[in-house]
Copies of this chain bind each other. A is one copy, B any other.
């Protein structure tokens, strides 16, 4: 949020659709719009969702236009009988309709490339309000509109996220940026493996940080995100302050931070593997493939990720990884000894530099008194040796799997950093 009394421009978002107010789908457009508007100096002060109902739409939009200078409406622009946004807004602005040739050509080509005629219902999409500026949509069949009155702007965008984002990027952001006096810029630092309370304990008093930025922390079961925000009339000034704040945070909790903004734990691990020219193979039991899935979300991961073995059965652990039957008998599949044997086994059989393994009880069934649901062992094996960590996660099956994958990737990250540090140190000593 912007500082109060900053004279910053204010906007409201109006979400139209029975499927949203009735709970069938969650609105994700508003958070996209709100974040992006801040960087062009616009503060969203209210988000209102209403159904596809003329009276409600009219009232909500009119009241929003009384309160703020910019209103962005999403949804209700499709070609079905439910979609009435265009008609209602045209009526509000006393506008007629006319055929827009550019929209018509686009629709004809759109259907021609699919070897079809334009359906009758879709033809209504080329009828546009004469009072509006058309926002041409190349990602779908519904154009957007800009209505202006008494210096206030009302944008109407389709509800499909891809199309909404396209029109925002193409029309709204450039227009608002050109008249921007103040903006707010964010930097998000992603941490994992530390609780919110411990994180703040290590960060210490917030005052030195708030000299530069405002700070918000947002915990989830996978870690805590720290959001730093800088309000300024100049992007350079904001960036300087964000960097100063980031440096301060890093000086306190560097080891817990795996990335910033759009970086993910798997992209960070990928970078570290590329930097150290190492290959990786993974042996998963309780996570069922989730670690491999996350590693391969990164484009180019085939350069370092060689293979994964989802050894769900004991037979697979023996056959694919060479885990000894005696270990399985003596310690059980969920044990430190088997985790280490899995990590070493996948490293050997895959012929990679590093082997990573997990074995645990995801639940809800399968727990015992000595081995409760959530008990998990994570091991990593590389040329420097092997290590294993024990965790007990206290959540449902899905979240226990997610926490296991997160902890495994983080253990790998920390080991790669230490190895890379050690290599750099060696190189330094040799100079």
Q: B-contacting residues of A (Cβ < 8 Å)? A: 1, 15, 18-28, 30-35, 38, 44-51, 56, 60, 216, 218, 227, 282, 284, 286-293, 295-297, 299-302, 305-313, 315-316, 319-320, 349-351, 362-365, 397-398, 401
- In the assembled complex, the CB of A202 is this many whole angstroms from the nearest CB of chain B, namely 17
Q: Give chain A's interface secondary structure class.
A: mixed
- In the assembled complex, the CB of A40 is this many whole angstroms from the nearest CB of chain B, namely 13
Residue of B nearest to A300 (CB): B365
A397 to chain B: which residues have CB within 8 Å?
Answer: 297, 299
A19 to chain B: which residues have CB within 8 Å?
Answer: 216, 218
18 interchain pairs (CB within 8 A)? A18-B216, A24-B216, A26-B30, A30-B49, A46-B48, A47-B48, A48-B49, A286-B296, A288-B301, A289-B289, A289-B291, A289-B292, A292-B292, A297-B398, A297-B401, A307-B315, A307-B316, A308-B309
B365 lies within 8 A of A299 (CB): yes
A351 to chain B: which residues have CB within 8 Å?
Answer: 315
A23 lies within 8 A of B18 (CB): no
Name 8 extra pairs, CB < 8 A, besides A24-B216, A288-B305.
Answer: A23-B34, A45-B50, A287-B293, A296-B310, A297-B397, A297-B401, A307-B315, A308-B312
B313 lies within 8 A of A306 (CB): yes
Q: A47-B20, A312-B302, A365-B299 are in contact. Are A218 and B307 (CB under 8 A)?
A: no
A316 to chain B: which residues have CB within 8 Å?
Answer: 306-307, 350
- For this chain, the copies found in one complex come to 2
Q: A48-B47, A289-B291 are in contact. Are A312 and B305 (CB under 8 A)?
A: yes
A349 to chain B: which residues have CB within 8 Å?
Answer: 319
B218 lies within 8 A of A25 (CB): yes
B293 lies within 8 A of A289 (CB): yes
A289 to chain B: which residues have CB within 8 Å?
Answer: 284, 288-293, 295-296, 308, 310
Q: A300-B365, A307-B316 are in contact. Are A23 and B28 (CB under 8 A)?
A: no
- Chain A to chain B: the 9 pairs with minimum beta-carbon distance, closest first: A288-B296, A289-B292, A289-B289, A308-B310, A23-B34, A307-B316, A23-B35, A23-B31, A47-B49
Complex CA–CA separation, A363 to B302 (angstroms): 12
A21 lies within 8 A of B48 (CB): no
Most-contacted residue by chain B among A295, A299, A398 (CB, 10 A):
A299
A363 lies within 8 A of B299 (CB): yes
Most-contacted residue by chain B among A1, A290, A297, A310 (CB, 10 A):
A310
